Amino acid sequence: MIKKKMKIINKLGLHARASSKLTQLACSFNSKIFLIKDENKVNAKSIMEVLMLAAGKNTIIFVEAEGVDEKEAISSIEKLLLNYFGEGE
């Protein structure tokens, strides 16, 4: 199991379309993937669970993955966040 701290840096935060992108990416891995913000731990493969984090810009989250492709999952999700979810800002 890998757990990594990440920061939401895009302007709109983990809004609906960003959550959808993250969910779609998470679904492409076999590993179980969770997002953790404060006390809340949600399934990264469920868009409505991800949205319940209400994670705005500069929020710190932890991404946890467990499974055969956990390393790739963590690094791909980190790349998506660092790339501002493809939103440019």
Partner 1 sequence: MIGILLVTHGEIGRSMIDCAAHILDNYPISVESLSINSNNDLHQYNDIIAKKIKNLESGHGVLIMTDIYGATPCNLLNKFIQKDKVEVVTGINLPMLIKAISDRKDNIKTLITDSIECAQKNIKKI
Contact flag: residue 21 with partner 1 (CB under 8 A)? yes
Decide whether 1 or 54 has the Cβ nearer to partner 1. Answer: 54
Site for partner 1 contains 33 (CB under 8 A):
no
Question: Is 43 considered catalytic here?
Answer: no
Cα gap 59→30, rounded to integer Å: 26
The answer to whether residues 89 and 11 touch, using CB atoms and an 8 Å cutoff, is yes
Query: How many Å apart are CA 44 and CA 23, to the nearest integer?
Result: 6
User: Which of 3, 5, 11, 17 contacts partner 1 by CB under 8 A?
Assistant: 17
Catalytic residue ranges: 15
